[in-house]
Amino acid sequence: MRNPIATVFVIDDDAAIRKSLARLLQSAHFDVRSFASPWEFLEQHNPATPGCILLDVSMPELNGLDLQQSLAKQGCDRPIIFLTGHGDIPMSVQAMKAGASDFLTKPVEDHLLLAAIQVAVEKDRQSRAARAEVQAIESRLATLTPREREVLEQVVSGKLNKQIASDLGTVEKTIKVHRGRVMEKMEVNSLADLVRVAALAGVSPGRPPSPR
């Protein structure tokens, strides 16, 4: 079997549906993990596994929407596709507003389901990639010395080297050196990239210089 594209986590209390959905998704080369209840899923779920959730909305014990909120609280933003036997509009609107990836009604056609899963998986991949990038940036940021950090902040606020030198009480040459080292450590080639990367890392630009 080829490497699976991603994992789909199927949560539905109806065993026959779990089985049939698993079969269908496996035939589309997804890796499937099935759970009979949200509790089970939360217990065994590994956030590092890429993939999305396929969730039956109307299960007792825990509303699907409540699960969505629980996951969000845990900091997990895995995309959720809702599957429902009811198909009433208010519930779907509520789910979508809360950030569901899609809302499908049973019985579900394979092409619709697979398309939604593709979208969700892609979303997941993108968000993972984004998170990974931010993490990388942050790790690079951590290698900066405090001085370099300061210089970075001033540079991304758009100040000229001359200004930064006078603000920080040093000469332009020193600033240029710091700047070069920052660019190097942050692995960027242009100011625009630096600004972008800094923004991604949440660096707030233009703090007034600390008095020495």
Partner 1 sequence: MAASERINRSRLVLNVVLVGILCYASNEIGFAHKIPPHNISVLWPMSAILFSALLVSSPRHWWAYVLAGYSSSIIRDAQAGFPAQAFLFIGAGLLEIVGAALVIRRYLSPIKMFDSLRELALYLAIAVIGAPMVSAFVSAFAGGTANYWFFWRVWYLSEALACLMLAPAILSWITLARHKSGTIPMARRVEGTVLVTILAGVCFFAFTGNVQTGHGIPALVYLPLPFLLWAAVRFGPLGVNTALLIVACLSISGAVHARGPFVYSDETKGVLSLQLFLATLSLPLMLLAAVIQESRARAQVLRESEARFRSMADTSPVMIWMSGPDQKSEYFNKRWLDFTGRTLEQELGEGWIEGVHPDDRPRCLRIYHESLDARKPFEMEYRLRHKDGHYRWVFGCGVPRFMPDGSFVGYIGSCLDIAERKDAELQLQEQRAEVTHLSRVAVVGELSGAVAHELNQPLTAILSNAQAAQRRLAQEPIDLDEIRDILTDIVNEDKRAGEIIRRLRALLKKGEMQLQPLSLNELANDTVMLAHGDFVSRGIVVSTKLAADLPVVRGDRVQLQQVLLNLISNACDAMRDNAPSERRLEIATHSNGSGTVEVAVTDEGPGIAPEARDRLFEPFVTTKKEGLGLGLTICRTIVKAHGGRLWSDNNPVRGAAFYVSLPTLVRDPI
Binding site for partner 1 (CB under 8 A): 14, 16-17, 19-21, 23-24, 26-28, 58-61, 63, 85-86, 106-110, 113
> Is the Cβ of residue 58 or residue 127 nearer to partner 1 in the bound state?
58
Smallest gap, in angstroms, from Cβ of residue 205 to partner 1?
47
> Is the Cβ of residue 23 or residue 207 nearer to partner 1 in the bound state?
23
Nearest Cα residue to 8 out of 58, 40, 55:
55
Smallest gap, in angstroms, from Cβ of residue 200 to partner 1?
40
Q: Are 172 and 180 in contact (CB under 8 A)?
A: no
Smallest gap, in angstroms, from Cβ of residue 124 to partner 1?
22
For residue 130, what are its two tokens? 């984004």
The overall longest dimension of the chain from CA atoms, in Å, is 74
* For helices 172-186 and 146-156, angle between their N-to-C axes, nearest 10 degrees: 90
> Is the Cβ of residue 58 or residue 118 nearer to partner 1 in the bound state?
58
Smallest gap, in angstroms, from Cβ of residue 119 to partner 1?
19
Residues 6+ apart with CB under 8 A from 70: 38, 42, 62
> Is the Cβ of residue 60 or residue 169 nearer to partner 1 in the bound state?
60
Q: Which amino acid is at 97?
A: K
Q: Which helix (H) or strand (E) holds 11?
A: strand 7-11
